[in-house]
Structure 1
Amino acid sequence: MLSISLSLTVLLGITGLENNNEPNFFVGVSLPVALLAAIFTNLILEKNIKIFRTNRIKFNWASVKIILIFFSKLLTLVLIGHLILNASDWLTQDISKVIYPDNFTHGLLYEVVREATWFFGVHGYYIFQDIGLRLSNETISNIAAWKAGHESLNILSVPFYETWCASGGSGGTLSLLICLLISRNPSNKHLINVSLPLAIFNINEPLIFGVPVVLNPVMFIPFVMTPAVDYIIAYYATLWHIVPPLQQMVGWATPAIINAWLGTDGAMSAVLFQIFLICAGIAIYWPFLRYMEKRDYKVITLPGGNTSFVPVKENQFQLPVPGHREVESPHHYLSEANEYIDARRNINELQSSGNFVLWYQPQITVDSEKIVAMEVLLRHQSDDGKIIPPYFLKYYERIGMMPEVDFWVLENAVEAIHHDLSRFPGMTLSVNISPQTLLAPNFLSLVSKLLRNPLPSGWSLEMEITESQKVKEPEQVIEILSELRQLGIKIALDDFGSGYSTLSYLTQYELDKIKLDRTLVLGLAREGGEAFLHHVVQLCKSSGSQVLIEGVETEEEHHIVKNCGIHLAQGFLFHRPQPINKLCKLLEVTT
């Protein structure tokens, strides 16, 4: 509301100073000036809103100065806008003379310009409603004269544009909706459910802003191209008598096919022709939609031929609704929305500045320092080669996308076993799986399909429960872990000794390995730290699990860990995380 009210205030200031009463004022002046006024007003607002948020406004000179500077910028914008109006004649010319559809060229230009305004989120019909009104009056007069036998029907008319060029609404978006329907991307499902009922009646705002088209140069191209191509084909099809001219005024909300039937008084050729135009629109939209999907998703091919779409960039079609969280603040809905938006922004920055990669950290036997397993670690590699640890996972967790992330890691890790690591038998590959992923409805089926192709001989897969996250449904997790074990997957409890774990975890879950958190290593420096670690190890061993300790970085820690009876370890003292090519070279030397 603040943005809208300030933008309108600036626009009224600009146009009020001009006091322009020309009949085409809103066509020639308001569109460009309104856009510029809104853009620069919001740039000023965005910059200064931070000042208001970080400085509590008080009745002192500093606060008054901030306010004066803010409003002086807005006043300057008003004056500059006024000068532009006086200095630029092209802003006030009657553009309706240039684009009024009285012949083929002007009619095409009218359609293209109307559609082009959508790039800025502006509905072309309302911008050029004076042209639309004039065309509507001429159409009604022409139809009446034709029925009286005085004139032939004009090709260009209101029903011509609404029937042939706007199936589903502006941009011929019924074709786009059909593309979404035939696409296998499940992320489109919610958008289709919302858009389809309205698109039947040529209302397409949810679809346009959901794909999106506004400010999106990729989808904007077919959005303009489809009605332009429809216009050209329909014009010459009518001119060459392939289809009859439209002879009835039909409401713009009349569904496609029906409007062609009614507008031509029941001509079947018109119905078939409209179906042809919709198919042509599908052919135009389809490659652009596929480009966006390839840019925004990784398509995982599972054993058996099935595919899964995993987001690797911002999903521009559908954003999941933030889940409910217990927040004490009475403003928790606003807090959740801000957190959600922040998470999306951070994810966008990461995905636009590089790619996600997998690194591997070996796990060794404490006695012989032999590599027997490796943990898969997700990293972000920026375009300049900088590697960032997975602090960003909290953003994916916040927006409910951990299942997609975890399965992407799992799929690529299993692929690495088959293609890069198969020549090193007797190993275990360990993958972190969040509780959010374990409880995903399709998790077990995806894992089952992924393992239809058996792992190479001597290899085993291990899944680590991320213990630092609270398990809200332990009974269901127990059932899922049991199913995973039946698939031959080992189960490890990660980061034991931190987060939400309790001793009951050792009896609740059937575990193959317990990974002790590095905090227990750091505790060795305190008095009694070694004795405490020894008791923890014995307690873990009583559950029948192997014990691995993380974060061993010095020889002294290695010696103490060995004395405490720990069998497995990982840490910088032995091996740092490394990409797959370096890991293979290391295994060639050590195995």
Structure 2
Amino acid sequence: MTYNITTKNTNNIFHQLKTRFINNRISQAVLSSTMAIMPFSVLRGLVIVASTLCQDVHWVKTAVWLENLQQSMLTFLPILLNIIFSIQWAVRYRLSIMLCISLSLTVLLGITGLEHSNEANFLIGVSLPVSLLSAIFTNLILEKNINLFRTNKVKLNWPFSKIVLTFLGKLLLLVVTGHLILRASDWLTQDITAVIYPDNFIHGLLYEVIRETTWFFGIHGYYIFQDIGFRLMNNTIANIDAWKAGHASLNILSTSFYETWCATGGSGATLSLLICLLISRNPSNRHLIKVSLPLAIFNINEPLIFGVPVVLNPVMFIPFVMTPAVDYILAYYATLWHVVPPVHQMVGWATPALINVWLGTDGAARAVLFQIFLIALGTGIYWPFLRYMEKRDHKEITLPCGNKRFVPLKGNQFQLPVPGHRDVESPHHYLSEMNDYIDARRNINELQSSGNFVLWFQPQITLDEQKIVAMEVLLRHQGDDGKITPPIFLKYYERIGMMPEIDFWVLENAVEALHHDLSRFPGMTLSVNISPQTLLAPNFLSLVGKLLRTPLPSGWQLEMEITESQKVNEPKRVIEVLAALRQLGIKIALDDFGSGYSTLSYLTQYELDKIKLDRTLVLGLAREGGEAFLHHVVQLCKTSGNQVLIEGVETNEEHRIVKNCGIHLAQGYLFHRPQPINKICELLNAKA
């Protein structure tokens, strides 16, 4: 018991730290900036590929020019990150973009200038962490003192001068502190370099593991130990040249060795992780695959690392480190024992898998087969961890009626594919999609780790007798602290295409609650909301048919509410689905009438049983002519032969008016609030 309590406390502490890190505004700005420079990294990767290909066909001058270009791009990358972070921060917090950029670059120049005071172009060679940290702290200082730059007049008095001097003093202190940290990090890196420089098997393994480990905090190990990388690359070039001249033996460990065997798909050998996502039946991964696959081809894997996520994820981080380490060990001994030829050509890190080993070994087929074997092995390593993470993230919950399910459902007959894709209006299509996806995944993970999903029920009554004739099923989130949250979180599931799973989970468990708890109260309707996204799922009808193989309790009917406030992209298909549902004996209601996209077209296009008037029509009663308008709306709805129900009745005056308008069904706090199933059963027993 002590062990379990200790483990639980440790997990809670870790979860709190993780949540704070992910929700921190600085972390979010860093993530957005990292995603924003990704196109630049992709372009640099393409330049490296082009340089390698030109070198292979002996276009030496072009290859050299392209190599110099990619080196210049690498040099410019930290500066670009500094600028983009400043832009992100300025836009988020409504600061001057040019002011943020100017101050941030000035501080960076000051830090690097102290380090390289004898060099004119001392910005060249600045490391990415230094550039990013200087941008973070500069913009934080600027944000705290932004009123200085919003003052219309300069006040020549001591209080104002004191504020200005304090601000400048903070910037100067930041420059000096940055310089000291830079010097200390240089000393530390030099000491580590002496230990992990890959000049033998053990040191080479340490180098690979430590580089991967830094990714746990979202830091690219290549940039932290770029001095080792440059030294190894220079030694690799010199060794290959000496080997070709017959003056030295070929080293097993080289830059090309790591890029070929340990970085298929990028750091962590994440090409294997991408394959796992491809073969997984989890539809929420499809959006991530779509945005990650084009980059993963060129060994750029930030979308996977932040999207799965690997960063701050102790589950996925194990295979992230284990896979390249296993690849390193097997490739080292395979080379040592001549199972595969040594990599004796320089190969760019962005060269796609299989092509890189083909070029690096001058077309050795057995080397290509060995790389395929390593990718397959890595897939086997990643797979159980990915499945465990999915089950953990979609953790088991308990409904008030006592049954247990997963949200969303995993690995059962009710798994739904995701139809279509979400439209993105942002001109930065890729960045918008990726940031939205990561934000949604982060919120969903936080939601599912902080409590349970539960079903609540709200009665619908007749206005004449106030008799309960139907129950609307409502999804709620119950936090570990007992707090109940309405479904404002559904936008995250919709964003990543998981509404079909949510809708069917609600439908399945509502029907099960009907069989177990409500069956002794006959003569009512169970009303469940279904999104347009779910209606368009290809096998939705077959899944509903399977669910209804067991007949509903006597006197009960199932009703599905389609939401009028959400846009329907394929109305003809929706008409077909609704007709098929009616053939199954399911009633169709139009929800939120009067608040959405195409109110009148819904009345003419779809065959309906009930129209639910939106709460906004009730609120409109307070305006002049509101009652007359509601009366005309009710008459219009009745011409279609449908039942009319109004939502959101909360006062006796509203009750009187809606009844005078000819409405016979209502739902609202005046009559009954949403309640869990046990309270609903108590209510029905009292009315029996």
Matching of residue 323 in structure 1 with residue 417 in structure 2:
no
Task: After superposition, give the CA deviation of every residue in 1:187-207 in whole Å (9 maximum; x if it has no partner).
Answer: 444554555566456555565
How far 1:167 sits from its partner (Å)?
Answer: 3.0
**Alpha carbons 2:307, 2:438 under 8 Å: kept:** no
Write the distance in 1 (CA, Å) between the matches of 2:161 and 2:541: 62
1:542-581 matches, cutoff 5 A: 542-553=639-650, 566-581=663-678
Matching of residue 3 in structure 1 with residue 85 in structure 2:
yes
Q: Which has the higher helix share?
A: 2
Match of 1:38 in 2: 132
Write the distance in 2 (CA, Å) between the matches of 1:191 and 1:548: 41
After TM superposition, the score normalised by the length of structure 1 is 0.76
Matching of residue 132 in structure 1 with residue 232 in structure 2:
yes
How far 1:360 sits from its partner (Å)?
Answer: 0.8
Write the distance in 2 (CA, Å) between the matches of 1:292 and 1:302: 14
Write the distance in 1 (CA, Å) between the matches of 2:269 and 2:199: 22
Match of 2:472 in 1: 375
Q: 2:280 aligns with which of 183, 186, 204?
A: 183
Alpha carbons of 1:51 and 1:183: their partners in 2 closer, same or farther (altered >3 Å)?
A: farther
Write the distance in 2 (CA, Å) between the matches of 1:461 and 1:574: 22
Q: Percent identity?
A: 67
Match of 1:246 in 2: 342
**5+ residue gaps, structure 2:** 1-82, 87-100, 395-406
Task: After superposition, give the CA deviation of every residue in 1:240-276 in whole Å (9 maximum; x if it has no partner).
Answer: x372551632524665456656766777765554443
Match of 1:313 in 2: none
Alpha carbons of 1:356 and 1:155: their partners in 2 closer, same or farther (altered >3 Å)?
A: same
Match of 1:77 in 2: 174
* Partner SS state of residue 120, structure 1: coil
Write the distance in 2 (CA, Å) between the matches of 1:302 and 1:222: 23
Matching of residue 229 in structure 1 with residue 337 in structure 2:
no
Write the distance in 2 (CA, Å) between the matches of 1:199 and 1:524: 57
Write the distance in 1 (CA, Å) between the matches of 2:441 and 2:354: 42
Alpha carbons of 1:46 and 1:156: their partners in 2 closer, same or farther (altered >3 Å)?
A: same
Q: 1:289 aligns with which of 379, 386, 402?
A: 386
Write the distance in 2 (CA, Å) between the matches of 1:288 and 1:20: 49
* Partner SS state of residue 409, structure 2: strand
Matching of residue 123 in structure 1 with residue 202 in structure 2:
no
- The aligned amino acid for 1:289 is L
* Partner SS state of residue 678, structure 2: helix
Write the distance in 1 (CA, Å) between the matches of 2:497 and 2:236: 50
Match of 2:544 in 1: 450
**Alpha carbons 1:44, 1:73 under 8 Å: kept:** no
- The aligned amino acid for 2:231 is I
Write the distance in 2 (CA, Å) between the matches of 1:561 and 1:2: 56
Alpha carbons of 1:447 and 1:590: their partners in 2 closer, same or farther (altered >3 Å)?
A: farther
Tell which deviates more after alignment, 337-346 or 549-558: 337-346
How far 1:73 sits from its partner (Å)?
Answer: 3.1
1:157-168 matches, cutoff 5 A: 157-168=254-265
After TM superposition, the score normalised by the length of structure 2 is 0.66
How far 1:321 sits from its partner (Å)?
Answer: 5.9
Matching of residue 489 in structure 1 with residue 597 in structure 2:
no
Write the distance in 2 (CA, Å) between the matches of 1:527 and 1:256: 70
Tell which deviates more after alignment, 77-86 or 259-268: 259-268
How far 1:230 sits from its partner (Å)?
Answer: 1.8
Write the distance in 2 (CA, Å) between the matches of 1:198 and 1:472: 30
- The aligned amino acid for 2:477 is H
1:57-96 matches, cutoff 5 A: 58-61=152-155, 71-84=168-181, 90-91=187-188, 93=190, 95-96=192-193
**Alpha carbons 1:322, 1:337 under 8 Å: kept:** no
**5+ residue gaps, structure 1:** 311-318, 326-330
- The aligned amino acid for 2:525 is T
**Alpha carbons 1:550, 1:569 under 8 Å: kept:** yes
Match of 1:315 in 2: none
How far 1:183 sits from its partner (Å)?
Answer: 1.5
Write the distance in 1 (CA, Å) between the matches of 2:411 and 2:324: 39
**Alpha carbons 2:565, 2:596 under 8 Å: kept:** yes
Tell which deviates more after alignment, 63-72 or 117-126: 63-72
Q: 2:557 aligns with which of 452, 460, 464?
A: 460
Alpha carbons of 1:570 and 1:48: their partners in 2 closer, same or farther (altered >3 Å)?
A: same
Alpha carbons of 1:419 and 1:68: their partners in 2 closer, same or farther (altered >3 Å)?
A: farther
How far 1:106 sits from its partner (Å)?
Answer: 1.2
How far 1:361 sits from its partner (Å)?
Answer: 0.2
Matching of residue 300 in structure 1 with residue 409 in structure 2:
yes
**Alpha carbons 2:198, 2:253 under 8 Å: kept:** yes
Match of 2:41 in 1: none
